[in-house]
Structure 1
Amino acid sequence: MSATPAEQLGALAAQAGKDGLPAARRDDVAGRVLDLLGICLAALSERPAEVVVATVDEWGGAPAATAIGSAVRLPAPSAALVNGTLGHSLDFDDTHLPSVLHPSAAVVPAALAVAEQYDVSGPAFLDAVAVGVEVTCRLGMAGYDREHANSVFFDRGQHATAICGTVGAAVAAGMLQGLTADQLTSAIGIACSMGSGVIEANRTGGTVKRVHCGWAAHAGVIAASLARHGLTGPPTVLEGRFGLLRAFCGEQFDIDAVTGELGERWESDRIFVKPFPCNHFTHAGVEAALRLRRAGLNPADLTGITLGVPEPVLRTIAEPLADKRRPLSGYHGAFSGPYTVAAALLGSGGGLGVSHEDFTDGAVADPDRLALAALVTPEADPDCTRIFPHQFPAVLTVRLSGGEVLRERVEHNLGGPENPLTPAELTTKFRMNAARAVGEATATALSDLVTRLSSDSRPTMFTALLRASA
C-alpha cells in the first residue's frame, strides 16, 4: 500500500532532520527568520500582543522559551503564542503566492520556542523552519482554485494561514523534538484537528485575526508534544473522507499540490517578503511611485494620477474611494491605494522608501499628502488582472501641469522571487523594525547572530540577547 500524503510529509521531515538541507536553503530561511524577528520587535506595542501576554502570564508554567519583549521565559507553547501574534500583528510578515497565506509567522515562532527549549543547533533550527514552511505552502496550494485564481479556504471564510500554518508548525516543532517519521505523521494528524480561523474580522472589524498565527504556532507545538508522548493521528488526515481538505474545501482541492515533486520542487520558493509596512496589494503602486520620485518627479507638477491594479484588489485598497483618499487612521492608511502612492511621493523616504512613520495618525492627516491622495484614481487594469494573484502588479500613470504623461509599470513585486530584496535591503528592513524596540546597537548584534545560524550561531544566543534587552 502506497504512503498517504501525510506519511509522505512525515517521511520528508524525518529525512531532512537526519540529513540536513543545502546551505543555500538554510541561508534563505535565515533571512526569513531575521525578517520575522524584526517584525515581532516592531509590534511590541500592539494591543493584541499585550492581550496575549496578559493571558499567558495568567497560565504560568515552567520557563522554557523566550517571549519577545519579555525578560523572563515561558512554557514553549506560550512563547510560541506570543511571538506568532507579534509576527502577524502588523501585516508586515511574508506572503506565499498565489495561495496568499503567511507561513513564517506561524512556523518560525513554533520552531524558535522548541529550539530554545532543547538548545538545538542553528542548522537544525533552519532545517525545521524550511520544512514546516514548505508543508504550510503546499497545503495552501491544495486549496487553491487554479481555474478561478482564488483560495477555496478564503472563499469559504476560512483563514488558510491559521489552518495550514498549524500543520507546518507541528512539523517544525516535531523535527526539533526528534520525532520519527511515524510520529511526525501523527503530529500532522493531530494538528489537523487544531487548525482553525475565520476571516470575518477582515470584513466587519475586530483584532482576533492578529492572533491567528500565534494560535497556529501554539497548537503546532502542542501537537508535536502530544505525538512525542504517544498520541496518534489518522494517516489519511489530509485527503480522507473526513480529512482536513474535504472538511475545509469540499471537493475543491488538489492533493497533488501536497505531494507533487516533494523534496525536489520547493513551493516555498514562491514566498514574497514585504518591503513596505502596508497592505501587500499597495506595494507595486508604492514601488512605481518611488521610481518616479527617484527619477526626479516633482509632486507639485502633478494634475492627476491613475493607479491601475488587478480588479479583485479594488475592494481592499480603493473602496469606498472617499475614505481611501482621506484615511481615518494610520492603520487605515496602510490599506489605501491613494494614500500609499502619496506617501511614496511625499513621505519620509525611510526604510526601503516607505516606513512606519508614514502610517501614523499624524502622517495620514498631513494636508499635502491628502491633497496628493485626492488626485489618485484607482482603476482595474486588464494586464494586472491577468497576472494576479501570482503577483500583485500595478501601473501608475501621472499627468503633469505641462501636459506630459509619465507611466511606470511594476509587474514583479519587490521582495518576490523575480525581484528579491538584496541582503542589504533585508537588513535595512530588519533594522527599521528592530531599532524601534532595542536600539541600533542591539539590532546590529541580533542581525549578526541570526545571519550566522547556518554556521556557528544558535537560537539560544539571540534569544538570550532579546531577554537582556527587554
Structure 2
Amino acid sequence: MSDATAPDTLGAQLARFAVDAARDGVPDDVAASTRQRVLDVLGLCVASHRLETSAAIIDHVLDQGGHEQASIVGVPQRVTAAQAALANGVLAHSLDYDDTHLPSVLHPSASVVPAALAAAEHAGADGELTVRAVAVGLEVAVRLGMAGYDQELGNSVFFEHGQHATSITGAMGSAVAASILYGADENGILDALGLTASMASGIIEANRTGGTVKRLHCGLAAQAGVTAAQLVRRGFTGPPTVLEGRFGFFEAWLHGRFFPAAITEGLGKEWAVPGIFFKPYPANHFTHTSIDAGLALRARGLRAEDVASITIGAPTAVIRTIGAPLETKRAPQTGYQAQFSGPYAVVAGLLGGGGLGVGLDDFTDALAQEPRRRALMALVDVVPDERCDAIYPHQFPAVVTVTTTDGEVVVEEVLANRGGPERPLTDDELALKFRDNVAGRVSPDTAEDVRRDVLTLDASSDITSLMSRLTTFQATPVPAATTDKDLA
C-alpha cells in the first residue's frame, strides 16, 4: 500500500481482525465448524466429478501448465495454486450442495475453502493456520454480504441488482484467507482486498433463463483471492478505502447503499461461521423445506396414488426461482433443472430417496422425466404465503397442503431449514453426507482417513498429505452422470 494504513477504514479493521485471529486463534466452536466445512467441500469436490462442466474446467486448468504448487481433487497432476483454487472452487459449487449463510443468501465455503487449501499447500502452511485462515475468510465473506442486506427490503441489495453475492464477497474472503497463509501483515491483507475488489464479480441471470456459468463463480472467486494475495507479495497495492470509498466496492456494486455496522459490530467477538447452514439435500436451498415436507408427509403414511393436488406455500421472493414459470418447473428436462424445481422437490421427498432423505442419485435426467414423477408434479402449484414472507430470508419456509383423492386436506409446515442453527445436522449426518458424496470414487477406508484428518486438521503439519488422499479415484462404477444442459 503506497500510503500509510488508514486505521479507521473498513478494510483496515478487517485486516486487523484477520491478523489477530491468525495469531491468537479462533473460538473452539468456530474451529470445529470450520473443519466440518472443509470436509463438506472436499466431499462435494469428489461428487462433482460426475458433471461435464467439471471435466471441462479440469481440462482447461491442465491445459494452462505451470509450476506444481497445489492439488485438484481427483487429479494426480499438481498445478499452480491459483488454478487449483479455480478448479476446486468450480467443483465445490457445481452441485448446489454447498453451505449457505442467511439472510445474506450466499455460499461462502465453496470459494474460501478451495482458496485456502491451495494457498496452504503452496505456502507449506500447517493445519492450524489453515483452519484459522478459512474461519477468517468465511467471516469476512459473510460480513461483507450482510453489509449488502437491507432489513427494510428484506433481501440482499446484491441480488436486487442481479449480482451474485456468493462470488463477489467470496472473492474478498478468499483473498483474506490466502493472504493469511502467505504470511501477510495488516497492510498486505488490506492491499489484497484492494486488488480483489477489481476482480470480484458474478451475475445471476443464469438462475432465471439458463446456462451453467454459475458453476464457475466460486472457482473464479477463489482464483481471484489467491492471485491477489500473490500479487501483493510482489508489490502490488490497493486503496485503503477500497470498501467505503467514493469509487469503492460498495459504491460500485450497491450504488452506495450498504450497512457498515454489519462489518464492524462484534468483529472478533461474535462469529457468524457456526451459524452458516449446511445443505442436507443437493438442490437449490429454496427447495429444501418442500423436500422436508414431502418426507414428513411420506412418514405420515401419505401415498403418491392418494394425491389429488399439492400446493406449496412459499416466500414470494423464491417463487421466481422454484415456481416460475410453473409449466417448466412441473416438467424439468434434466436433473440440473430439477434442482431448482419446487414441484420436483416435494415429489422427491414424498417418494423418498438416498443420502439424508433425498440424495445425489435422486437428481438425474431419467428421474426428472420419469412418468410417475411428471404426473405428480403436474398436480403441484407454488403460491405466495404470508407466513413464509414474514420469515424469509432468515429461513426458506414452506407450507405444503395436500388434498387427497378422498377429499382429505393434509398440511405440513416446515418453517425452519434443516442444517441451520434451529435444526442442525449432527456429526453423524455430516459424516453420512460426506460418505455419500465420495461413494464409488473413494474407498470407505480412504474416506474415513480423510474425515479423521480433516476433523483433526489443527494438528496436521501440512495440507499436502490430506489432499494427496483425494487426487486419485478408484475405478468402481459411480451413479449415472447428470447431464449439463441449460437451466430453463
Range class of TM-score, shorter chain: over 0.9
Aligned residues: 469
- Does structure 1 retain, via aligned residues, the 8 Å contact 2:74–2:472? no
Q: CA deviation at 1:43?
A: 0.7
Residue 84 of structure 1 deviates from its aligned partner by: 0.3
Separation of aligned partners in 1, 2:129 and 2:25: 7
Query: How far apart, CA to CA, are the structure 2 residues paired with 1:326 and 1:367?
Result: 10
Q: Where do residues 2-401 of structure 1 align in structure 2 (5 Å cutoff)?
A: 2-347=7-352, 349-401=353-405
Of residues 417, 428, 435, the one that matches 1:431 is 435
Alpha-carbon separation, structure 2, partners of 1:49 and 1:303: 40
Q: Which runs of 5+ in 1 are unaligned?
A: none
Cα pair 1:449 1:457 within 8 Å, conserved: no
> Aligned letter for 1:15?
D
**Aligned residue for 2:414?**
410
Alpha-carbon offset, residue 360 of structure 1? 0.8
Q: Which residue of 2 aligns with 1:441?
A: 445
1:29 is matched by which residue type in structure 2?
T
Query: Which structure 1 residue ranges, 4+ long, deviate > 4 Å from structure 2?
Result: none
Contact kept in structure 1, 2:30 and 2:271, CA below 8 Å: no
Contact 1:114 1:221 in 2 (8 A): yes
**Structure 2: unaligned runs, 5 residues or longer:** 1-5, 475-488
Question: Structure 2 vs 1, CA of residues 285 and 63 (structure 1 numbering), >3 Å: closer, same or farther?
Answer: same
Contact 2:22 2:180 in 1 (8 A): yes
Offset at residue 66 of structure 1 (A): 0.4
Deviation of 1:277 after TM superposition, in Å, equals 0.9
1:148, distance to aligned residue in structure 2 (A): 0.9
Q: Deviations over 1:70-91 (max 9, x none)?
A: 0011110010000001111111
Superposition RMSD in Å:
1.6
Q: Is the 8 A contact 1:26 1:123 kept in 2?
A: no
Distance 1:203 1:322, change over 3 A: closer
| Percent identity over paired residues | 51
Q: CA deviation at 1:468?
A: 4.0
Residue identity matched to 2:390:
R
C-alpha displacement at 1:457, in angstroms?
7.0
CA–CA separation in structure 1 for the residues paired with 2:7 and 2:327? 58
Farther off after superposition, 428-437 or 410-419 = 428-437
The residue matched to 1:15 in structure 2 has which SS? helix
The 10-residue stretch of structure 1 (52-61 or 419-428) with the greater mean CA deviation from structure 2: 52-61
Aligned to 2:457, the other structure's residue is in SS state coil
- CA deviation after TM superposition for structure 1 residue 33, in Å: 0.9
CA shift for structure 1 position 98: 1.1
Q: Please tell me whether the aligned partners of residues 153 and 160 of structure 1 are also in contact (alpha carbons under 8 angstroms).
A: yes
1:253-302 CA distances to partner (integer Å, 9 max, x unpaired)?
11221112211122334411111111111100111111121233222222
Kindly indicate whether the alpha-carbon contact (under 8 Å) linking 1:450 and 1:457 is maintained by their aligned counterparts in 2.
Answer: no
Offset of 1:226 from its aligned partner? Answer: 1.6
Instruction: Name the aligned partner's letter for residue 161 of structure 2.
Output: R
What is the distance in 2 between the residues matched to 1:364 and 1:201? 20
> For the Cα contact (< 8 Å) 2:30–2:274, is it kept in 1?
no
Separation of aligned partners in 1, 2:257 and 2:315? 24
C-alpha separation in 2, matches of 1:70 and 1:370: 38
For the residues of structure 2 that align with 1:178 and 1:15, how far apart are their CA atoms? 13
TM-score (norm 1): 0.96
Shift, 1:48, TM fit: 2.5
Q: 1:44, 1:437 within 8 Å by CA — same for their partners in 2?
A: no
Q: Are the counterparts in 1 of residues 54 and 91 from structure 2 also a CA contact under 8 Å?
A: yes
Q: Secondary structure at the match of 2:310?
A: strand
**Which amino acid counterpart does residue 93 of structure 2 have in structure 1?**
H
Aligned mates of 1:375, 1:200 — CA distance in 2: 28
**Match of 2:480?**
none
Please report how far the alpha carbon of residue 222 of structure 1 lies from its aligned counterpart in structure 2 after TM superposition. 1.1
* CA deviation after TM superposition for structure 1 residue 342, in Å: 1.0
> Matched residues in 2 for 1:344 and 1:370: separation?
14
Where 2:441 maps in the other structure, the secondary structure is helix
Instruction: Say if 2:125 and 2:461, in contact at 8 Å, map to a contact too.
Output: no
Q: Secondary structure at the match of 2:439?
A: helix
Which residue of structure 1 aligns with residue 457 of structure 2?
453
- Distance in 2 between residues matched to 1:354 and 1:458, nearest whole Å: 35
Of 338-347 and 439-448, the range deviating more from structure 2: 439-448
> Which letter does structure 1 place at the counterpart of 2:231?
L
CA distance in 2, matches of 1:52, 1:329: 21
What one-letter code is carried by the residue in structure 1 that aligns with 2:436? M
SS at match of 1:397: strand
2:433 maps to a residue whose letter is K
Tell me the amino acid that sits aligned with residue 117 of structure 2: L
Q: How far does residue 436 in structure 1 lie from its aligned partner after superposition?
A: 4.0
